[in-house]
Structures are given as structure tokens and as C-alpha cells.
Structure 1
Amino acid sequence: MNLRRWFFLFWTALLIGAAGALATGLIMMLVNGEKTNGIADFMLYLLILFGSGVMISVYSQMGFFAYLILNYMGKGVFPKRGWQIVQIVLTVLALLDVMFLRLFVGGERERISDIVLGLLILAAAVVTAYVKVKQTHISALVPTLFFMIAVTAVETIGVLRIDVNAATIFIVLPLLLCNAYQMLILHKLVDNSEERSAEPAGKSIKESRA
């Protein structure tokens, strides 16, 4: 991936994060019946939502590039099958951590919201993995599930500590959108660059055969 393609990924992810935050914030505002004092306050609210979405996108991209580095190192340390098993184990542990950890250590309060959050992350991961496999190959299933579940779980640790359901919803939904977008577009950016680099060689082979 060259600099131009990385820049394309960067600003498009920013827009998706901002759009996701705007949509989530406005829907939550309507559901809760909240109102602003005039046009000026409403525009300020939109600006805050936009800025928050941009920051969520940057946070998502940091997690994505950390995953790429981790995936590169994992492939170098473990055999192919072994690295897949490691990812599956970490994915299951991360999902169980999100859904049930605070249910057992959080005292008397029931943590149904954590279970719902885990199911939401799982549903987003399954849909993203299905689309990714349809676009590429079955080998993309485990890495996609690992990124969408394990990495997203790590990225949501900060908001889970706040322990406010509204804040969790506002952060997680744009985060899932950004993560899914980056995972689904990655192979297109990489494959195009590889195809362009391989094209002259292919032409030369055809010319030599001719």
C-alpha cells in the first residue's frame, strides 16, 4: 500500500466515522426526546458530533494498523494453522470478556447491557466476515472475525469503564462502521497495487510467447 492509497483510506474512514457519529447522535437525541435551544445550539451539537466521529475514526485506524502489525508478527512466529487457532482462541475470550466478565465481578447489578453489546459486536463481525469471504476467500474468515471482535473489544475498554450505556452506544456504533470499512476495503487497496506491479511482467511474458 503506497502513501496515496493510505491517504484515501484515512480520509474515507474519517468521513465514515463522522457520518456514523452524526447519525447515532441524532437518533439518540430523537429517541430520548432531547431538544436544543435554537439553531445555534443545534449546529454546535452537530459540530460536536462530527468532531467526535473524527476522533473515533482515528482511534479505529490506530487499532487497525496495530492489528496489521500483530498479524504480520503472528504469521512470522506461528505456523499458518497455529496462528489461526491463536486468533480463534483470543476472539472467543474477548467476546466472553465483553459479555460476561462484569456480570460476575460487577456486584449486584445485572449486566444485560454487556450481553447485548457482545451480541451486537458478534453480529457486526459475522456480517463483515460474510461479505469479506464473498469478496475474497474463505481464508479471510478467521482474521476478519478476530479483528472485528477481539480488536473492537480492546478498543471499547475505555468507554466500558465509563459505564454509561448512552456513551457506549455512541462510541461503539461508529467504531464498528470504521472497523468494518477498513477490513472490507483493505484487500482492494493491496490487490490493486500488486496487480499493477505484476502487469508489466505479464505483458512481457505474453510478448515473449508471441
Structure 2
Amino acid sequence: MNSRKVVYLFFSTLLIGATSGALVGFILDWRTYWEGLMAGEVVDFFLVIVWLFGIGAMWTLISQMGFFAYLTVHRFALGFFKTARTWNMIQVVIIAFVLQGLGYFRYVSFGTVDESILGYILIPLFLLIYGLCIAYYKSKQTNFGAFIPALFFIVVVTTLEWLPALRVNDPKWLWVYFTPLLVANTWQLLVLHRLINRK
């Protein structure tokens, strides 16, 4: 992969991730922003959009760091373990642990007496289903050996990148932070093999 492709990957990911974050942030509170615009607060409206775009860009940069960190760890693990199967089994165990923790620990931290844990299971369930779909698509585009690493990246790495935001239990901001991470991670995962021209 040459420098031109690295630059393309960086800026395309940054643009896609930041835009997705800004869109979700606007949609989740569109009535407030729209009423401000109709009241003549045009400058404030555009400043809010730029601010949301900046937040999305920040989380996209975190996504990019996580992506290259995982590529490094993945290569190291493949060299350390004697077979790729061993590393894949370890990744499956970590995926299960992270999904369980994502639901359970959020419930323990933020759940109230009258709340069910079911509401806290929805995000891990969504992440698992989404990860399975992306991993299947990635493996169809490349080879079946990419399935477990792709699932691990979408589920585990995205969750690790999202950890600082999980301390806040505000649904709006959780999604504003989560969306650019997930979109950027998906884009990087699905475009990488095209950039290096390898099936």
C-alpha cells in the first residue's frame, strides 16, 4: 500500500465518520436546532453543525488509531501462535466476554430498581448482529479466514474505543459518539482489501 492510498484511507474515513456523527447528532435533537434556525439564529445553527462535525471527527480519529493498533496486534498474534485457529478461538472468547460485559456492567452502573436488564442487552445484541453481517460480507469479499478477525474488530475494538463515552448514560451522546466509531470502523474494514488489491 503506497502513501497515496494511506492518505485516501485517512481522509475518506475522517470525512465519512465525522459526517455520520454530525447527522446523527442533528437528527436526535433536530427540533431544537430547527426551531433555532427558524428563529433567525442562522450563525448558531451552523456553529452547532460544525461542532457536531468536530465531535464526529474526534471519534473518527480514535477509530483510525484503533484500526491500525488492531492490525499490528493481529499480525503479532498470528506470528506468536502456531496456528491462526488458536488466535481465532481466543478472539471468539474475547468477543463473548466483551458482549457480556457491555450489557452487564452498564446495567450494574446505571440500572435502577424498576429497570430490566433487557434494555441494556439491546446494544450488545445490535453490535453482535451488525458485526456478524459485516464479517460475513468481508469474508465473501476476501476469504472465510477474515470472518473472525472482522467480527472481533467490529465488536471488541469498537467497544474499547467507545469506553470513555460509556461513562455517560445519556442516549443522545452515546449514539453521537458511537456512530462515527462504527461507521469509520466499517469503512476501514471493508475498503482495506481493495486498497491493497488482495482477495
With structure 2 as the length reference, what TM-score do the two structures score?
A: 0.89
1:26-105 matched pairs, under 5 angstroms? 26-30=26-30, 33-35=31-33, 36=36, 38-78=41-81, 79-104=83-108
Query: Shift of residue 2 of structure 1?
Result: 2.2
Q: Which has the larger radius of gyration?
A: 1
Q: Within the alignment, does 1:120 sit opposite 2:118 as a pair?
A: no
1:118-163 deviations in Å (ceiling 9; x for gaps): 1221232122112212211111110000000011111111000122
Classify the secondary structure of the residue corresponding to 2:26: helix
Number of aligned residue pairs: 191
CA distance in structure 1 between the partners assigned to 2:133 and 2:16 by the alignment: 18
SS, match of residue 34 in structure 1: helix
**2:130 partner letter:** A
Match of 2:158 among 152, 162, 165: 152
Code of the residue aligned with 2:24 in structure 1: it is T
Gap regions ≥5 residues in structure 2:
none
Match in the other structure for 2:24: 24
Corresponding residue for residue 7 of structure 2: 7
Compared CA separation, residues 168 and 107, structure 1 to 2 (3 A): closer
Contact conserved, 2:110 with 2:169, CA < 8 A, in 1? no
4+ residue segments displaced more than 2 Å: 101-114
Larger CA deviation: 122-131 vs 52-61: 122-131
Q: For 1:134-153, list aligned pairs within 5 A.
A: 134-153=140-159
Instruction: Indicate how the Cα distance of structure 1 residues 187 and 161 shifts in structure 2: closer, same or farther if over 3 A, else same.
Output: same
Identity level (%): 35
Distance 2:17 2:70 in 1: 19
The residue matched to 1:191 in structure 2 has which SS?
Answer: coil
TM-score (norm 1): 0.84
Q: Which amino acid aligns with 1:16?
A: I
Please list the CA deviations of residues 52-104 of structure 1 after superposition, one character each: whole Å capped at 9, or x if unmatched: 11111111000001101110111011121101101111111111111122324
Q: Distance in 1 between matches of 2:51 and 2:109?
A: 34
* SS of alignment partner, residue 163 of structure 1: coil
Shift of 1:106: 4.9
Amino acid of the structure 2 residue aligned with 1:60: S
Deviations 1:22-51 (A, max 9, x none): 210121023xx3232511111001110111
